[in-house]
Homo-oligomer: A and B are copies of this chain.
Amino acid sequence: MAETQIRFGILGCANIAHGVSRAMLLSPNTTISAIGSRSLEKAVAFASENHFPESTKVYGSYDDVLDDPHVDAVYVPLPTSLHLRWAVLAAEKKKHVLLEKPVALNVGELDKILAACDSNGVQFMDCTMWMHHPRTAKLKQLLSDEQRFGQLKSVHSAVTYLADDDFLKNDIRVNPNLDSLGALGDIGWYCIRAILWAHDYELPNTVTAFRNPEYHDSGVILSCGASLNWKTDGKVATFCCSFLSNLCMDIIALGTKGNFHVHDFVIPFNEKVGSFYAVDNSKWAERAVGCGPEPGVFKIATDMPQETLMIQEFGRLVAGIRSGEPKENKWPIISRKTQLVIDAVVASIKNDFVPVKVVY
């Protein structure tokens, strides 16, 4: 099997890289061949703590990872401000790019990254792990079911968690020099992706931010939200993201004939089973004294965690390219659409919450 395995290099020792590197080791078609950090000591500790293979090279710089000929693909969990530089460099070194979200500070930066991936023939994918859970595919089936869901009318998504004092003092996600998009980039990303996913990636016509975002002393957004409108059928979506509320990971999608609720779409409470609630063709009881049926609970099992499925998919695409298949353009397009909506939210907030048009 070893010759078909895609060999990852990891840039940095971010917290998020624990789960993703575990996935690289769990996925049958990938392995980790290098990790680099500005601190060699940190990289050594990270490799040991996460049980990297003996053969993994541990470097004291990111450049060394990119220069390693035994690295096929690079995973970039660096702060967002560093994505442009390191993702472009990785592409130029002919490394396939798996980029943490938010992928860039704005779509202008992302376009440079995507252009570098394009001109160097490498695959690009962002790390929106929940998209790879089989529950997501099941929900997509439901969204497409004319009898059980009908036409999509409304989506609401909320992703929140309560940042503690240490986070609010020290985390990169409240540092305007590192992750200036704050909660919008970190978790609003998931909400916006969920909304676009439910709409088959049809971009909204306008995005209008809600009027009272909350800010860190540093100026970074701690909570915000927006409404999104499509031109046809009265379709509307809303989202809220916040570092200031207890954990919530909701998608609610309402169709003409059915609807579903997911309470943990970003990270399932149970790694092996993703649940959702769905109901269709609800009816009033006689004389309107009741209604039903009660929504059913659906449980979708998965042998592998969603992060592993994501890594496996990325490995499959890279292996395909190496054997002459074309790159998968779906992933860069979806990333770009997500970033466009992020940018529109920022623009609406900066312009007194006016509606901002979204154009691809």
A-side residues, CB < 8 A to B, are 15-16, 18-19, 22, 150, 153-154, 156, 158, 160-162, 206, 208, 210-214, 222-223, 225, 227, 229-231, 233-236, 238, 240, 242, 244-248, 250, 252, 254-259, 261, 263-264, 267, 269-271, 277, 279-282, 284, 287-295, 305, 307, 353, 355
A211-B236, A225-B236, A238-B238 known; 11 new pairs, CB 8 Å cut-off, are: A19-B287, A19-B289, A153-B223, A154-B225, A154-B245, A212-B234, A227-B227, A246-B254, A246-B256, A246-B258, A269-B294
A287–B158 touching, CB < 8 Å: no
A246–B288 touching, CB < 8 Å: no
B288–A256 touching, CB < 8 Å: no
Nearest-neighbor residue (CB-CB) of A266 within chain B? B291
Nearest-neighbor residue (CB-CB) of A227 within chain B? B210
Nearest-neighbor residue (CB-CB) of A247 within chain B? B282
* Given A154-B242, A208-B211, A15 and B287 contact (CB-CB distance below 8 Å): yes
A154–B158 touching, CB < 8 Å: yes
A257–B246 touching, CB < 8 Å: yes
Contact sample, A vs B, 23 pairs, CB 8 Å cutoff? A15-B288, A153-B160, A153-B242, A153-B244, A154-B160, A154-B225, A154-B245, A156-B156, A158-B252, A160-B254, A206-B211, A211-B236, A212-B235, A213-B234, A234-B244, A246-B255, A246-B280, A248-B259, A264-B291, A267-B291, A269-B292, A269-B293, A270-B294
Q: What is the minimal beta-carbon distance from A206 to any residue of chain B, in angstroms?
A: 6
Residues of B within 8 A of A150 (CB): 246
B245–A295 touching, CB < 8 Å: no
Residues of B within 8 A of A213 (CB): 234
A355–B211 touching, CB < 8 Å: yes
Residues of B within 8 A of A238 (CB): 156, 210, 225, 227, 238, 240
Residues of B within 8 A of A246 (CB): 150, 254-259, 279-282
Residues of B within 8 A of A271 (CB): 289-290
A261–B261 touching, CB < 8 Å: yes
Nearest-neighbor residue (CB-CB) of A235 within chain B? B212
Q: Roughly how many angstroms separate A252 CA and B236 CA in the complex, as a whole number?
A: 18
Q: Which of B158, B252, B279, B287 is within 8 Å of A254, CB to CB?
A: B158
Q: Roughly how many angstroms separate A142 CA and B15 CA in the complex, as a whole number?
A: 33
Nearest-neighbor residue (CB-CB) of A22 within chain B? B289
A288–B247 touching, CB < 8 Å: no
Q: What is the minimal beta-carbon distance from A118 to any residue of chain B, in angstroms?
A: 32
Q: Roughly how many angstroms separate A277 CA and B263 CA in the complex, as a whole number?
A: 10
A236–B256 touching, CB < 8 Å: no
Q: What is the minimal beta-carbon distance from A161 to any residue of chain B, in angstroms?
A: 7
B240–A248 touching, CB < 8 Å: no
Residues of B within 8 A of A235 (CB): 212
Q: Roughly how many angstroms separate A222 CA and B154 CA in the complex, as a whole number?
A: 14
Residues of B within 8 A of A223 (CB): 153, 234
Q: Roughly how many angstroms separate A18 CA and B286 CA in the complex, as a whole number?
A: 9
Q: What is the minimal beta-carbon distance from A104 to any residue of chain B, in angstroms?
A: 22
Residues of B within 8 A of A305 (CB): 289
Nearest-neighbor residue (CB-CB) of A232 within chain B? B212
Q: Roughly how many angstroms separate A160 CA and B279 CA in the complex, as a whole number?
A: 13
